[in-house]
Amino acid sequence: MDQLLINPGPPLLSILIFLPLAGALFLLLVNNENFARYWTLAVTGIAALLSLPILTGFDRGSAQFQFVEKHAWIETLNINYVVGVDGISLLLLLMTTFIMPFCVLASWTYIKTRVQSFMICLLIMESAMVGVFVALDFVLFYILWEAMLIPMYLLIGIWGGPRKIYASIKFFLYTLAGSVLLLVGIIWLYITNNYSFFIPDMMWQHYSVTAQVLLFLAFFLAFAIKVPMFPFHTWLPAAHVEAPTAGSVILASILLKMGTYGFLRFALPMTPEATVMMMPYVLGLSIAGIIYGGFTALAQSDMKKLIAYSSVGHMGFVTLGIFVLNQQGIEGAILQMINHGVTTGALFLCVGMIYERTHSRELLSATGVGQYMPVFVTFLGFFSLSSFGFPGTNSFVGEFMILAGTFEYSIPLALAAIPGAVLAAAYMLRMLQKVVWGGTDNPDQSWLTDLNVREIVTLTPFLIFVFWIGLSPQHFLDLMQTSVTNLLDNFTAYSSQYMAAADLIVR
């Protein structure tokens, strides 16, 4: 238990998990749409504010889990309710709590039917997502990880676009099938670790290489589908395109991060030898994802699809950063997870705003709006620049660090990833050019109104973070540095001999 720093103060993490759930239960009794909107905004807003003390109280110099709460739950099977944050999960937790109020704002007028049910789904999502990032008991983690699927499934299936049923089922079955073997892996770990589901105790144990490889494959299937890594990405465009704006934002900003978070939290510490063995293949898939995502995004005429495929490319960078297994790579990857959450979330919000006006996501029907919606295209411009890593914006820092880490690991690999960055510029500029200026045959857009105050309020914080992370990333890197260093120290100490062997293979 020396990995834990028990929380002496108020149980902040539990409040963050259960406050939205309580809010959702209360909404069950309410039959007033406007009240539901304000109520949900208030609950998510309070949750966001309550997560601030975690940031200020977080001890940056410690790699232990902090704000830990531990209660016995199912004693016969030694299942406990344990939650805690460390440097890896802290930023993801904060991003979750801070994005949710803006999802509510983005759905303010977008959702017109069954508003209460929608808000209930959002609140349950928030509970489960916060829980996934802070759970330190594997059963608790798995329950929340799976429980998340149901509200998301309903979000896509009820309030989605024309092919919503196809998209929602594909999303549900794909992600569910992925976590099947995860459950078997969890139970195997439980039995091997003296009947304990406590996650930190499972790390850095000497499991046999065969067991590690099988475990890694189980983890990989679950997490790679969630990320999604090429070639497991096919559910993503369908789900993104059909989901309502808030659903797309949650998917892109938070759900996808759970896959990469899973790699960092479970795959690396629990199966280090297998990680080293599998590293080349995962890196190869990451590169494939980067290039493939880029080319496919270039060919899209549907804006949501374009951004969805760009996510495949961006998440390819994240997995690349994680699996080069050095300080810069992993820190860059964590930062890039946040960046992608901010930037892509904002881009989906922008597309949603266009869609609310034109009721089309087609690039061709949104051409030339720059003249009539100057505020909107300003936001869109900055977010697009951020998306392809323009210097000064957040993604530049993240991608730079990942590429620096990759260069340190292998120069050919880094060179292979570079075209991804160029492609990103190509597809983003193509979209930006069409939306802002279009051509001589633009449809008549003169009836469009520019953003209202609510929409500006929704987008501004994202812009602030784009520049904050872009211009002074050290604030964010400080939070994770100790944990990442600790992770890598443990990793090298554990598997130095295997690292040497793997280096030989790569050269």
Partner 1 sequence: MLDFIIILPLLVVGAGAIALMLLASMENLSEGSTALVSIGIFAFAFAVQLMVSVSGNVAPYETAFSGMLTASTFTKVAGLIILACGLFSCMIAQTYFTQNKFSSPEFYSLMMFAASGMLLLTMAAELITLFISLEIMSLAIYVLVGYDRSRIKRSEAVLKYLMLGAFAGAFFTMGAALIYGGAGSTRFALISKYLATNSFLESPVLVAGTLLVIVAFLFKVAAFPFHAWVVDVYDGAPLPVTGFMATGVKTAIFAVFANFIVLDNGMKGVWVDYLFYVAVFTMFAGNLIAIGQNNLKRMLAASGIVHSGYLIIALVAVGTENFTGGVIIFYLAAYAAATLGVFTALAYLGGTDERRDSFDDFKGLAKVRPYTAAAITIFMLSMAGIPPTAGFMGKFYIITDAIRADQMLLAVLGIVSSILSMWYYLRLVIMMYFKEPEESFEVSGVSLAPVGTMILAVSVFAIGFYPVFL
Binding site for partner 1 (CB under 8 A): 74, 76-77, 114, 117, 139, 142-147, 149-150, 154, 157-158, 164-165, 168-169, 172-173, 176-177, 180-181, 183-184, 187-188, 190-191
- The helix or strand, by DSSP H or E, that contains position 79, with its residue range, turns out to be strand 79-85
Burial readout 427-464 (b: 16 or more C-beta within 10 A, e: otherwise): bbebbbebbbebeeebeebeebeebeeebeebbebbbe
Using an 8 Å Cβ cutoff, are 150 and 121 in contact? no
Long-range CB pairs of 447-450, under 8 A, 24+ apart, other chains included: 448/357, 448/358, 448/369, 448/372, 448/373, 449/357, 449/373, 450/372, 450/373, 450/374, 450/375, 450/376
Nearer to partner 1, 190 or 409 (CB): 190
Measured CA to CA, the distance from residue 365 to residue 354 in angstroms comes to 10
Nearer to partner 1, 26 or 281 (CB): 26
Measured CA to CA, the distance from residue 84 to residue 488 in angstroms comes to 20
Nearer to partner 1, 49 or 177 (CB): 177
Q: CB of 25: closest distance to partner 1 in angstroms?
A: 11
Backbone angles phi, psi at 49, to 5 degrees: -65, -40
Measured CA to CA, the distance from residue 174 to residue 164 in angstroms comes to 15
Q: CB of 218: closest distance to partner 1 in angstroms?
A: 10
Using an 8 Å Cβ cutoff, are 420 and 314 in contact? no
Nearer to partner 1, 174 or 383 (CB): 174
Q: CB of 173: closest distance to partner 1 in angstroms?
A: 7
Using an 8 Å Cβ cutoff, are 181 and 218 in contact? yes
Bridge pairing between strands 4-6 and 65-74: parallel
CB contact set of 231 (below 8 Å; sequence gap of 6+): 285, 288
Q: CB of 179: closest distance to partner 1 in angstroms?
A: 9
Nearer to partner 1, 42 or 77 (CB): 77
Using an 8 Å Cβ cutoff, are 241 and 167 in contact? yes
Nearer to partner 1, 183 or 448 (CB): 183
Burial readout 95-107 (b: 16 or more C-beta within 10 A, e: otherwise): bbbbbbbbbbbbb
Q: CB of 236: closest distance to partner 1 in angstroms?
A: 20
The torsion defined by the Cα of 195, 198, 200 and 201, in degrees rounded to 10, comes to: -20
Q: CB of 308: closest distance to partner 1 in angstroms?
A: 21
Q: CB of 286: closest distance to partner 1 in angstroms?
A: 27
Using an 8 Å Cβ cutoff, are 135 and 83 in contact? yes
Coarse DSSP helix, strand, coil percentages of the chain, rounded to the nearest 5 percent: 75, 5, 20
Which two tokens mark 485?
A: 């260093």
Nearer to partner 1, 35 or 188 (CB): 188
- Give the number of other CB atoms < 10 A from CB of residue 188: 15
Bridge pairing between strands 4-6 and 79-85: unpaired
Nearer to partner 1, 48 or 139 (CB): 139
Nearer to partner 1, 75 or 441 (CB): 75
C-alpha to C-alpha distances, 364 to 241, 310, 340, 369, 473, nearest whole angstrom: 16, 19, 26, 11, 37
Nearer to partner 1, 147 or 203 (CB): 147
Give, in degrees to the nearest 5, the angle at Cα 47 between 44 and 53.
155
Measured CA to CA, the distance from residue 459 to residue 375 in angstroms comes to 11
Locus of tokens 């983890």: 219
Nearer to partner 1, 242 or 455 (CB): 242
Q: CB of 233: closest distance to partner 1 in angstroms?
A: 20
Q: CB of 114: closest distance to partner 1 in angstroms?
A: 8
Nearer to partner 1, 88 or 246 (CB): 246
